[in-house]
């Protein structure tokens, strides 16, 4: 029994270290991993459970940077619940990471139409604007985020850093 417990502790430590490394890599690659704006409600029916299973699988694939595989699962989620701002945000994120900027913009706008206070969608939309060399629009998203997080939040910090990195790489840009 003691061997099992120590093995479980070792596995947990490796998992935590892996998460820390993956978060660090995400930040180093120009953005954090997606975060839902609020905790997701628990499913109350078999259909909702199936939807959440797709969402959870997609979230796992995104964290593993398997974006193309996550997209059909996310499309299943929004087909069943078109008002799922987190799933639309993830669709934006995956498409942005795959270089599909027009699709990403559309998905972020859908997320924000449903939840105008979705901090993740504002952050990632700002990062998209930096990718498309529109720093003024990214700055607008930062201002919105600062209004949503007057005491500061991770999304503000991440977009501020992305803007600073952009300005350092593009001297003279506004």
Backbone angle region of 4, left / alpha / beta, with phi > 0 → left and psi within -120 to 50 → alpha: alpha
> How big is the CA angle at 27 (ends 58 and 154), to the nearest 5 degrees?
85
Nearest to 86 by CA among 117, 126, 127, 45: 117
Write down the pLDDT at residue 173: 78
* pLDDT of 100 higher than 80: yes
Q: What is the pTM of this model?
A: 0.74
What local confidence, expressed as pLDDT, does residue 49 receive? 65
- 7 Cβ contact list (under 8 Å, min separation 6): none
Q: Domains in the chain and their CATH numbers?
A: 31-169 (1.25.40.10)
Sign of the torsion angle spanned by Cα atoms 114, 156, 67, 53: negative
What digits encode the pLDDT tens for the residues 67-88? Answer: 999 999 999 999 999 999 999 9
Tokens encoding 151 = 């005491």
């Amino acid at each position: 029994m003691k061997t099992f417990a120590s093995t479980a502790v070792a596995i947990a430590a490796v998992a935590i270290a892996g998460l820390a490394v993956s978060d660090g890599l995400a930040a180093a690659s120009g953005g954090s991993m997606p975060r839902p704006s609020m905790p997701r409600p628990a499913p109350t029916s078999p259909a909702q459970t199936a939807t959440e299973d797709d969402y959870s699988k997609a979230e796992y694939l995104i964290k593993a940077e398997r974006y193309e595989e996550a997209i059909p699962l996310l499309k299943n989620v929004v087909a069943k619940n078109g008002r799922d701002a987190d799933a639309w945000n993830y669709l934006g994120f995956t498409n942005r990471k795959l270089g599909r900027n027009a699709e990403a913009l559309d998905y972020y706008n859908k997320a924000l139409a449903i939840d105008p206070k979705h901090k993740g969608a504002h952050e990632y939309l700002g990062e998209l604007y930096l990718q498309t060399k529109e720093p003024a629009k990214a700055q607008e998203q930062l201002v919105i985020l600062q209004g949503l997080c007057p005491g500061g939040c991770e999304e503000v910090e991440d977009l501020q850093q992305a803007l600073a990195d952009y300005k350092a790489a593009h001297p003279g840009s506004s």
